[in-house]
Amino acid sequence: MKNIVEPSIHFTKFSKKQMQVFTWWCPESPYGAYNGIICDGSIRAGKTVAMALSFIFWAMSSYDHQNFAVCGKTVGSFRRNVWNWVRGVLQTHHYKVIEIRTTNTIVIDNGKHTNYFYIFGGRDESSQDLIQGMTLAGLYCDEVALMPESFVNQATGRCSVPGAKMWFNCNPESPIHWFLKKWIEKADEKRLLHLHFTMDDNLSLTDAVRERYKSTYSGVFYQRFILGLWVMAQGAIYKDCWSEDLYFGEDELKHIYRNITYYRRYIGIDYGTVNPMVFLDAYDDGDTIWIVREYYWDSRAEGSREKDNSQYGDDLMHFISDVNYPPAAVIVDPSAASFKIEMRNRGLRAKETVDTINADNDVLEGIRNVSRLLTRKKIRIYKPACPMLVKEMTSYCWDEKALQKTGKEKPIKVADHTCDALRYIVSTIVKPRRLANA
């Protein structure tokens, strides 16, 4: 298990805890008869490396011509975070791998056994329908705490082949999360091995890399992703990553406009008719996103009037043309169907004047990404032209009552319109590799 090499991945040795993941299922192990394993803890702790490889090795040594489910929050995230590097490691070990993308099926042959691995995404409640009816010899769930309980229950209920085992991997969420309460805290009862990881369990990380990750997060995200704690999200969402250093001055603004062709311009839109309508003007240099100005119209504010889509369309076109440099894309609230028609009528459509992109509207993931960039000062704001963005970002709070009632984290839906517009920009244009290096 040493000196495994795959392009962009290099493992030289494994920690004691990782080796336990590799061997817990072996017949001579005291946990060999257990029903599965749970690994939780900080990011970059080496959980996924050990879990994914060990799952494949266990499956291929234990069964022939059986079905297995490998799951991520989405099929794409599983391929990106797990399969893309696992495939290279398996090929290094002379496994024959065949991928059937149309059915998200992976056929693996080690020369003795052939097995079938089906990729599923556990994104929402409807995901349980995809896995229903299967008979599985094993289940691997990466990022299980981001999946709905119904999907995991359906998947675990499919593990009916004799000797089937379940493998769960996650970073912490809230202390009342269903997976903590019903699986981790009941691991002994369910005969599951529970291992808690920190970055010290990943021997491939240098001290410099550990420090970089520690400086990437703040507040509740630091406690969860760095310390590996299941803690409550409460209070102001961005309080621990907000500082005066985020603001930039007129000299930097002039620099942006003088060198404008070195940036990609984006307009982020949070749509509202009764609620406020927001446009944010953002310039991305590939490292930092510069928010230079905002449009904010609240029809319920004193002295204001309600506007229709045509009037908002006029305002958007003026907002765009105020700067003689076209945006690469207009990123809009995906629910704004009527306004998107208005935008298309004005030439703002894919493959024409300016692309119109439906925003990625995963709220919690978007908040994590915004927080991460703010902590690293990779989002900068021109305060004089963005008063509502500053006001709303500094008062944006977690809904603690909703968490206690439903067990799900979400922000309070009050004065959050510029927050949503900024989240749309970040979630839609900042790719995972860039976030990893932020």
What CATH number did the domain enclosing 248 receive? Answer: 3.30.420.280
R_g of the chain computed on alpha carbons: 24
With pLDDT > 90 as the criterion, what percentage of the chain qualifies?
Answer: 80
Q: For the stretch 373-409, what's the b/e string if a residue is b when 16 or more beta carbons lie within 10 angstroms of its beta carbon?
A: bbbbebbbbbeeebebbbebbebbbbbeeebeeeeeb
Residue 239 within a domain: no
pLDDT tens-digit series, residues 177-222: 999 999 999 999 999 999 999 999 999 999 999 999 999 999 999 9
192 and 251 in a single domain? The answer is no
Contacts of 311 (CB under 8 A, 6+ apart): none
Phi and psi for 40 in degrees, rounded to 5?
-130, 170
What local confidence, expressed as pLDDT, does residue 2 receive?
A: 35
Helices (H), 301-384: 309-321, 337-345, 363-375
Show the 3-state SS of 398-418. Answer: ECHHHHHHHCCCCECCCCCHH
Which of 200, 215, 230 represents a domain boundary (last residue)? 215
pLDDT tens-digit series, residues 279-323: 999 999 999 999 999 999 998 886 678 899 999 999 999 999 999
Quote the DSSP letter at residue 136: B
pTM value is: 0.85
Give the side-chain half-sphere CA count within 13 A for 408: 10
203 and 266 in a single domain? The answer is no
Residue 412 contacts residue 363 (beta carbons within 8 Å) = no
The answer on pLDDT for 422 being more than 60 is: yes
The answer on pLDDT for 6 being more than 90 is: no
Residue 377 contacts residue 218 (beta carbons within 8 Å) = no
Q: Is 44 helix (H, G, I), strand (E, B) or coil?
A: coil
Q: Is 236 helix (H, G, I), strand (E, B) or coil?
A: strand
**Bigger pLDDT: 130 or 424?**
424
What local confidence, expressed as pLDDT, does residue 356 receive?
A: 82
Q: Which residue do the tokens 């494994």 mark?
A: 14
Residue 286 within a domain: yes
pLDDT tens-digit series, residues 33-57: 999 999 999 999 999 999 999 999 9
**Mean of the per-residue pLDDT values of the chain:** 91
237 vs 132, 217, 218, 290, 429, CA distance in Å? 37, 13, 10, 21, 22
334 and 387 in a single domain? The answer is yes
Q: By mean pLDDT, which of 94-108, 156-170, 343-357 is the weakest?
A: 343-357
**Bigger pLDDT: 247 or 216?**
247
Q: Is 371 helix (H, G, I), strand (E, B) or coil?
A: helix
Residue 321 within a domain: yes
Element (H, E) at 23: helix 16-23
Rounded to 5°, angle at Cα 168 from 46 and 232: 85
Rounded to 5°, angle at Cα 165 from 161 and 168: 140
The residue range of the domain holding 125 is: 4-215
What local confidence, expressed as pLDDT, does residue 299 receive?
A: 87
Residue 140 contacts residue 52 (beta carbons within 8 Å) = yes
210 and 263 in a single domain? The answer is no
Could you give the number of structural domains in the chain?
A: 2
**Terminus-to-terminus CA distance in the chain, angstroms?**
31
160 and 285 in a single domain? The answer is no
The answer on pLDDT for 272 being more than 50 is: yes
What CATH number did the domain enclosing 96 receive? Answer: 3.40.50.300
Residue 110 within a domain: yes
What local confidence, expressed as pLDDT, does residue 277 receive?
A: 95
Residue 228 within a domain: no
Residue 50 contacts residue 38 (beta carbons within 8 Å) = no
Residue 162 within a domain: yes
What local confidence, expressed as pLDDT, does residue 9 receive?
A: 45
Kindly indicate the confidence band of residue 261, based on its pLDDT and cuts at 50, 70 and 90.
very high
The answer on pLDDT for 351 being more than 70 is: no
140 and 35 in a single domain? The answer is yes
Residue 422 within a domain: yes
Range 416-419 contact pairs with CB under 8 angstroms and sequence separation of 24 or more: 416/392, 417/270, 417/272, 417/275, 417/276, 417/277, 417/278, 417/296, 417/388, 417/392, 418/270, 418/278, 418/280, 418/294, 418/296, 418/386, 418/388, 418/389, 418/392, 418/393, 419/389, 419/392, 419/393
Per-residue pLDDT averaged across 236-244, rounded? 95
The answer on pLDDT for 374 being more than 90 is: yes
Token representation of residue 226: 């760095």
Q: Which residue do the tokens 């905002």 mark?
A: 294
pLDDT tens-digit series, residues 89-105: 999 989 999 999 999 99
- Distance (Å, whole) CA 221 – CA 231: 9
Rounded to 5°, angle at Cα 61 from 74 and 121: 5
- Distance (Å, whole) CA 162 – CA 270: 52
The answer on pLDDT for 4 being more than 60 is: no
The answer on pLDDT for 10 being more than 80 is: no
154 and 283 in a single domain? The answer is no
197 and 287 in a single domain? The answer is no
Element (H, E) at 11: strand 9-11
155 and 90 in a single domain? The answer is yes
Contacts of 26 (CB under 8 A, 6+ apart): 32
Per-residue pLDDT averaged across 82-92, rounded? 93
Residue 73 contacts residue 143 (beta carbons within 8 Å) = yes
What local confidence, expressed as pLDDT, does residue 5 receive?
A: 34
Per-residue pLDDT averaged across 108-135, rounded? 89
Kindly indicate the confidence band of residue 354, based on its pLDDT and cuts at 50, 70 and 90.
low
pLDDT tens-digit series, residues 398-412: 998 888 888 789 999
**Bigger pLDDT: 87 or 431?**
87
Residue 226 within a domain: no
Quote the DSSP letter at residue 278: E
Quote the DSSP letter at residue 159: B
133 and 187 in a single domain? The answer is yes
What local confidence, expressed as pLDDT, does residue 347 receive?
A: 81
252 and 139 in a single domain? The answer is no
Q: Is 419 helix (H, G, I), strand (E, B) or coil?
A: helix
254 and 135 in a single domain? The answer is no
- Distance (Å, whole) CA 356 – CA 330: 5
Phi and psi for 421 in degrees, rounded to 5?
-60, -40
The answer on pLDDT for 387 being more than 50 is: yes
Strands (E), 285-419: 289-297, 329-332, 355-358, 379-381
